[in-house]
Chain A
Amino acid sequence: MVAIRATLKRDLVLLLRRRSEVLNPLVFFALVITLFPIGISPDPALLATIAPGLLWVAALLAALLSLDGLFRSDYEDGSLEQLLLSPQPLPALALAKVAVHWLLTGLPLALMAPVLGIMLSLPAGSYLVLALSLALGSASLSLIGAIGAALTVGLSRGGVLLSLLVLPLYIPVLIFGAGAVQAAIQGAGVSAHLAILGALLAVALIFAPWAIAASLRISING
């Protein structure tokens, strides 16, 4: 428990001292969403129909962008080696690192999305669902993505491979996440979509830490 708390604190401090790494995905998200009305059409009706998918895809790519660095700096300066050699359960420590990643990437993205939704004239009433679905979904994205990040940490240019590895696994989250917002716009019930997002997160929470730990072991042994 002490080790988990210390790892949480250490990673938070580290990321807050390198703010550009935290800001990059958010800026990317904002830029993509700003460019779409300019590139397609400022017609509010058209934008409103594509807004849920657009916001979700952009947030997903922004989260993906930040994943490569999740274990890389630890790998390069030898801390990862030490993490693996500690007598603590590695899945728990990995989960702490992923939690920090979500807190500083997924959660800010979810909070930012409604503001960008205004720009896409997203119908009122779907903002809360948008933020909620992104908060839930991005936690799954962080967990799943961390498996890929752990597998590719030993490769010097693992970025592309990482995307190829995790994108197929992101698709269910994207479908139900964007679906939730779509349902909210149409006035249909959103609870089914959110429940499935929650279920995906529960499954990811149970299995991903072990998969991340195993992947880290493979990467370090390689």
Chain B
Amino acid sequence: MSLRLQARKLACERDDRWLFHDLDLELCAGQIVRVEGPNGSGKTTLLKILSGQLADYRGELFWKGAPMHRVRRDFLANLLYLGHASGVKAALTPLENLAWYQALAGAPGDEDDRLAALEAVGLAGFEDLPAGQLSAGQQRRVALARLELMPRPLWVLDEPFTAIDREGVAALEARLEAHTRCGGCVLVTTHHALRASAGLRSVCLGEGGAGVER
């Protein structure tokens, strides 16, 4: 069964205000869906719902055609989620941080893989410093190294470009495109305009209305 994340008639209400309603969304292999909208329009909430973290919504979610609650284990095994908070422990070194994430995925992992992943995000030479001593952008890069390290098809990224420098942004964009070319799919929120590519679509969340797909 091919990768497919579907949302049907999704609606979420916060503080007596509809963040979005009647939102239909489909994410298939080879696609990047960019969620855009002003601050507070519910981008993060939508991502949390779609990654199975929030249960407080109306509508239905399907993964590979089956209802989400029945295939949650399989969904989580395919998902890589990067949230607002980077999930990087300040007291651990980048290598130790990545080792834990590898183990959390179920495999003990290999030190060489971790070093290669850190090098790929431009952190070669910083692997043994406590992450707390790194800059905000470098900490973000430690989190992004997980993209290199863990072969998961579905990426859900919440503002991955925050604090990343210009070269880093270009590299990450290229990485996203490469991932979709290999059959993966990406759901991303960002205020940064992504380079147009074949698989790119945008969903715009606006003032209390339905999401508009463009």
Whether B106 contacts A3 by the Cβ 8 Å rule is: yes
Chain B interface residue count, Cβ-Cβ cutoff 8 angstroms: 33
Minimum C-beta distance from B95 to chain A (A): 12
**A14-B91, A79-B87, A82-B87 are known contacts. Are A87 and B103 too (CB-CB below 8 A)?**
no
Whether A18 contacts B91 by the Cβ 8 Å rule is: yes
For residue B83, CB closer than 8 A to chain A, the reply is yes
Q: What is the count of residue pairs linking A and B with beta-carbon distances less than 8 angstroms? A: 81
Can you list 15 residue pairs at the A/B interface with Cβ under 8 Å?
A3-B103, A3-B106, A7-B103, A73-B89, A77-B86, A77-B90, A79-B87, A79-B89, A81-B83, A82-B101, A83-B104, A85-B79, A85-B81, A88-B106, A221-B53
For residue B77, CB closer than 8 A to chain A, the reply is yes
For residue A220, CB closer than 8 A to chain B, the reply is yes
**A7-B100, A17-B91, A221-B53 are known contacts. Are A87 and B85 too (CB-CB below 8 A)?**
no
Determine the distance from Cα of A6 to Cα of B51 in the docked complex, in whole angstroms. Answer: 24
Whether B103 contacts A6 by the Cβ 8 Å rule is: yes
Whether A6 contacts B100 by the Cβ 8 Å rule is: yes
Please pick, from A6, A14, A78, A87, the residue contacting B83 in the complex, using a CB distance under 8 A: A78
Which residues of A, 50-79, contact B by the 8 Å Cβ criterion?
73, 76-79
Whether B104 contacts A81 by the Cβ 8 Å rule is: no
Whether B100 contacts A77 by the Cβ 8 Å rule is: no
- B interface, by DSSP: helix, strand, loop or mixed? loop
Whether B56 contacts A221 by the Cβ 8 Å rule is: yes
Which residues of B, 75-102, contact A by the 8 Å Cβ criterion?
76-77, 79, 81, 83-92, 96, 99-102
Determine the distance from Cα of A45 to Cα of B34 in the docked complex, in whole angstroms. Answer: 75
**A17-B91, A77-B88, A87-B73 are known contacts. Are A10 and B100 too (CB-CB below 8 A)?**
yes
Determine the distance from Cα of A131 to Cα of B133 in the docked complex, in whole angstroms. Answer: 40
- Give chain A's interface residues, CB within 8 Å of chain B: 2-3, 5-7, 10, 13-14, 17-18, 73, 76-79, 81-88, 220-221
For residue B38, CB closer than 8 A to chain A, the reply is no
Determine the distance from Cα of A76 to Cα of B162 in the docked complex, in whole angstroms. Answer: 18
Q: Please name all residues of chain B whose beta carbon is closer than 8 Å to the beta carbon of A18 when the two chains form the complex.
A: 91
- Give chain B's interface residues, CB within 8 Å of chain A: 51-56, 73, 76-77, 79, 81, 83-92, 96, 99-108, 130
Please pick, from B87, B104, B108, B130, the residue contacting A77 in the complex, using a CB distance under 8 A: B87
Determine the distance from Cα of A5 to Cα of B90 in the docked complex, in whole angstroms. Answer: 20
Q: Please name all residues of chain A whose beta carbon is closer than 8 Å to the beta carbon of B90 when the two chains form the complex.
A: 77
Q: Please name all residues of chain A whose beta carbon is closer than 8 Å to the beta carbon of B51 when the two chains form the complex.
A: 85
Most A Cβ at <10 Å: residue of B86, B87, B88? B87
Determine the distance from Cα of A17 to Cα of B79 in the docked complex, in whole angstroms. Answer: 31
Please pick, from A14, A76, A88, A221, the residue contacting B104 in the complex, using a CB distance under 8 A: A88
Whether B81 contacts A81 by the Cβ 8 Å rule is: yes
Minimum C-beta distance from A179 to chain B (A): 40
**A77-B89, A85-B53, A87-B77 are known contacts. Are A3 and B83 too (CB-CB below 8 A)?**
no
Whether A86 contacts B104 by the Cβ 8 Å rule is: yes
Q: A6-B100, A10-B100, A82-B101 are in contact. List 15 more A-B contacts (CB 8 A).
A: A3-B104, A6-B104, A6-B108, A13-B92, A14-B91, A78-B88, A82-B81, A82-B87, A83-B104, A85-B76, A85-B79, A86-B105, A87-B73, A87-B76, A221-B53
Identify the closest chain A residue to B130 (Cβ).
Answer: A17
Identify the closest chain B residue to A75 (Cβ).
Answer: B85
**A85-B76, A221-B55 are known contacts. Are A76 and B91 too (CB-CB below 8 A)?**
no
Determine the distance from Cα of A76 to Cα of B106 in the docked complex, in whole angstroms. Answer: 24
Minimum C-beta distance from B109 to chain A (A): 9
Identify the closest chain A residue to B78 (Cβ).
Answer: A87
Identify the closest chain A residue to B79 (Cβ).
Answer: A85
Most B Cβ at <10 Å: residue of A5, A7, A78? A78
**A86-B76, A87-B76 are known contacts. Are A5 and B103 too (CB-CB below 8 A)?**
yes
Q: Please name all residues of chain A whose beta carbon is closer than 8 Å to the beta carbon of B100 when the two chains form the complex.
A: 6-7, 10
Please pick, from B87, B102, B106, the residue contacting A87 in the complex, using a CB distance under 8 A: B106
